[in-house]
Amino acid sequence: MTYFIDQSGKIEDTAKDTVLAAVNENDTAVILSAKDKRRLQENFRILGKPQLFVDAVFAAVLHFLVKKLTRQGRICVDIEYPGHTKIIEKIVNQLADKDVGLEWVLVGKSSRAHDVAYKVFKKKLKMGKKLTAVEIWNQANKIAGGRLNTGLSPANRRSAPAANQTIAELRKKSRRKRSSFDGRELPLDRKVLSHE
């Protein structure tokens, strides 16, 4: 029995949901919302580990999908991140506490796996489990051996020593104009009077 797995919506594209679908006799999918991806990305940035974000989150989502598969057999995963397949496979095996036996293949756009993933992504097909940021973060913490010391609760969002402000608060400062004559910041709704 062979399962084919395809992704629709990249992990690093935090404006869109991500769907991983597995097809065989029974189709199944897992969904990670854009909002949860942004929360996870912010936590990885706060910890100073933004390079782990894509691999760890993709591996955790893939692990949840593999757990949902009813029968054991070959698991063929589309190569979404070339050069990262060994790392992702190692993480999935570590999360499952066994060798899952992933095979990396090119699943084309004409395959049924791509079709199911795309339809769930576009909300034309209602199926699959919605994953939360907390579930993924717990798996990422397991990957790191418990060394990811902040949680996703609002109380912990500012407890990391790397930054006192969230990414959203840092962006707000960049939306202000600087006055040309004294260097002070002025809000956008104020007008700077020029000498005529």
Residue 126, in any domain of the structure:
yes
Structural domain includes residue 184: no
| 51, 74, 116, 173 from 113: Cα distances, Å | 28, 14, 5, 44
pLDDT-derived band at 24 (thresholds 50, 70, 90) equals confident
Quick check: is 86 in a domain?
A: yes
Q: How far apart are CA 172 and CA 175, in angstroms?
A: 5
**pLDDT category of residue 104 using cuts at 50, 70 and 90:** very high
Give the mean pLDDT of 3-28: 91
Q: What type of residue is 111?
A: S
At 138 the pLDDT is: 87
Of 73 and 83, more confident: 83
Q: Count the domains in the chain.
A: 1
Is residue 183 one of the residues assigned to a domain?
Answer: no
At residue 176, does pLDDT exceed 80?
no
Q: Is residue 66 in some structural domain? A: yes
> CA 109 from chain center: how many Å?
22
Residue 40, pLDDT > 70, answer: yes
CATH number at residue 88: 3.30.420
Please state the rounded mean pLDDT for residues 6-29.
Answer: 91
Residue 67 lies in a domain: yes
User: Which of left, alpha, beta for 154 (phi over 0: left; psi -120 to 50: alpha)?
Assistant: alpha
For 138, phi then psi, to 5°, come to: -65, -40
Once rounded to an integer, what is the mean pLDDT over residues 96-125?
89
In a domain, 97, yes or no: yes
Per-residue pLDDT tens over the stretch 115-147: 999 999 998 989 888 999 999 988 888 876 665
- Which residues span the domain enclosing 115? 2-156
pLDDT per position as a tens digit, 148-174: 655 555 544 444 444 455 555 655 555
Task: Report DSSP letters for 25-88, one per residue.
Answer: SS-EEEEE-HHHHHHHHHHHHHTT-GGGHHHHHHHHHHHHHHHH-SS--EEEEE-SSTT-HHHH
